Amino acid sequence: MRQLRKTNMEYEERNAALQKHVESMRGAVERLEGDVMQERERNRLLHQHLETLRQALTSSLSSVPLPGARQSHQHSERCSQPLGQDFLMHITVLYFVLLVRIADSLGFYCLE
C-alpha cells in the first residue's frame, strides 16, 4: 500500500508539472496567434499602400511615352492598367532609357 501511495504521488507531481507546461504552451500559442493576426493586418495595409502607389505611378507615368514605342489607343489603354505587366515593363524601359542616356552623356557608348 505504501508503494502505491508513493507511485500515486509521483504521478500527481508529474501531472502537475505537465499541466503547468500545457498552460504555458497555451499562453504561447495565444500570443503567437495574436502576433499572426497583427502581421496579417500589417501585410494587408502594406498591400493596400502598394496598390495605391502603383495606381499613382501608373496615373503619373501613363502620359510619358516610351521611346520607340508605337503610340496607339491600345498602347495607352495597356499603360493605364495599374497592376498589369505593362506597368512594370513601362518602368523597366524608362529606367533602361535613363541609364543609356546617362552612359551617353558620360561618353560611354552602348553596342547595338
Asked if residue 64 belongs to a domain, the reply is yes
Cα separation of 25 and 96, whole Å? 54
Q: Nine-digit cell at 76? A: 495607352
- Domain residue limits at 99: 2-105
Cα separation of 54 and 22, whole Å? 47
Asked if residue 48 belongs to a domain, the reply is yes
Domain total in the chain: 1
CA distances from 54 to 40, 92, 100, 112 (A): 21, 14, 25, 32
Asked if residue 112 belongs to a domain, the reply is no
Q: For residue 25, how many other CB atoms are within 10 A of its CB?
A: 10
Q: What is residue 15's predicted lDDT score, i.e. its pLDDT?
A: 96
Asked if residue 14 belongs to a domain, the reply is yes
**CA 54 from centre of chain:** 14
Asked if residue 111 belongs to a domain, the reply is no
Cα separation of 9 and 78, whole Å? 76
Region of residue 27 (phi > 0: left; psi between -120 and 50: alpha; otherwise: beta): alpha
pLDDT along the chain (112 residues), means of 10: 93 96 97 98 97 83 65 45 60 83 78 55
Q: What is residue 75's predicted lDDT score, i.e. its pLDDT?
A: 46
Quote the pTM value.
0.54
